[in-house]
Amino acid sequence: MTIIALIAGIYLLVGLIAIAGLIAGGREATAETPHWKRFDDAHYWDERAEDWRPHEDVACGSQPAAA
């Protein structure tokens, strides 16, 4: 009976570690979502360059064209 309790304890410990990992991973993914939404809103996919390019109106450091 002691061996069964030991094995059950190990399974319980591994299960708790897995649940903690899932919770921590979910929090990390949730924290990253606003960052990627801002990136998606500020960039577009350039087919010719096969790369993400910033929209002209939100490009970092760009100044509006003088009239």
Q: State yes or no: pLDDT of 14 exceeds 90.
A: yes
For residues 33 and 54, which has the higher predicted lDDT (pLDDT)? 54
Measure the CA–CA gap between 58 and 47, rounded to whole angstroms: 20
User: Between 28 and 9, whose confidence is greater?
Assistant: 9
User: Any idea where the domains of the chain sit in the sequence?
Assistant: 2-57
Q: How confident is the model at residue 66 (pLDDT cuts 50, 70, 90)?
A: very low
Which pLDDT value is given to residue 24?
Answer: 79
Percent of the chain with pLDDT over 90: 27
What percent of the chain shows pLDDT beyond 70? 79
> Cα separation of 42 and 26, whole Å?
25
Residue 51 per-residue DSSP state? E
Q: Tell me if 57 sits within 8 A of 42, measured CB to CB.
A: no
